[in-house]
Structure 1
Amino acid sequence: MNRLNGKIALITGGASGIGLASAQRLIEEGAFVFIVGRRQDVLDSATSTLGHNAQGLQADVTKSENLDRVFETVQKEKGHLDILVANAGVGEFARLGQITPEHYDDIFDINVKGTLFTVQKALPLMQNGGSIILTGSTVGSMGTPAMSVYSASKAAVRNLARSWAHDLRGTGIRVNVMSPGPTQTDKVMALLPAEAVGEMKRAIPLERLGDPRETAAVVAFLASDDSRFMTGSEVFVDGGYAQV
């Protein structure tokens, strides 16, 4: 399929996991993709994997001057942006009673502040028909032990999309949320012990973790005109985890 021929996309957190899989899928569908990440070595490796229709941009989404540099580069090299995937995010465990200001700041700075200002600074480059995709999570809709701060950050991301759908009236730009459930990425596998992964699989009606290529397929759908009558929506890619 070539639903995205000639489109220009940018994905934050695009050098690994769900972001990298999404970049690969958008390229397969015809897009040129800028991937943004904090670590230059990881960016270089990802860009090499993706090929000539990708470019890596090193940036920290919590720093305004970094984001300015990213979008200045996009403006200079491509002139506009059709697809924005605000995917950069972090999660850590901390039970109530163990939460520190640093834990809160780290998660909300990247997941909420980073998402907000990534989108806001990208808007001048976007035009009618543009698609903004925010990465949410099933935990934004569920109670999850030891993940209250992360869960609250993803609930905030969900509401940003609802509110921005109103703010973007008349622009022709859509904003939607792709919310994955437990997905087999290096980050998840490093964070969770084997027994926790087993428990998650048993809790998922489809009895397995998701594959990043499955979330990428939904990102491609939300980026394309196949979803042109969708805005303010949340699409779960979770094997039923948060649905039943």
Structure 2
Amino acid sequence: MIRNRLAELMQSKGIKVVQLSKETGISRNTITNTVQNDSEMYRLDTINKICNTLKITPCDFFEYSPIEIEIEVSHDPEILHIGRTVNESYIADDINLELDIIFTLIKDGRTKNVYGTLKYLPQSVITTSPIHTSSISYSLDMNENQDNINELSSEVNNLSSGFKSMIYKKMINEIKTYLINYSANIEYPFYTTYLINFDVEIKDVVQDVQIEVISNVFTKF
């Protein structure tokens, strides 16, 4: 895996996005995306300007780890649903959003799949209210023997905090993208006694939902 360390470098030098944008001529949007490691490709002249301004080398700018962790989300057919049992309520109370998740650890030419389940937690709130934000909390349960869990946990623990944050963010993005794509491709995403999608499409609710995963292996920070 590879990532940039711009966030840490700017923090250590006390430089903010606005200042770096002004001194390099790079747009604030580009710098923000770079800080968040949201860019898959970097222009050489962008890296050159940042390095010159911060007085660092490309080796300081990038961080590398010889492992890869890929993430895949899925679910059992006809399980996912969001609905409500009380008419005229904005809050969903009939919910099944349990997901399966696979972590693929790639190191030294070896590939190992570690399987888990994302359990939907009761503190989650799914609402179509225009003044409230939906939130989904999952607990990550590993469906594996302890040796496989320990190996994955050990590799993650040896990573820098920046890589840990990047993997957590990748996991959240995979979950959200999966739910959005699923909701966009089925005709009736909500079902129960009363449909909750009055005037609101499921994809719009999922698009804005805040997601967190509680796990002993993967942490947000």
User: Could you tell me the TM-score, scaled by structure 1's length?
Assistant: 0.28
User: Which structure has the bigger radius of gyration?
Assistant: 2
More helix by share: 1
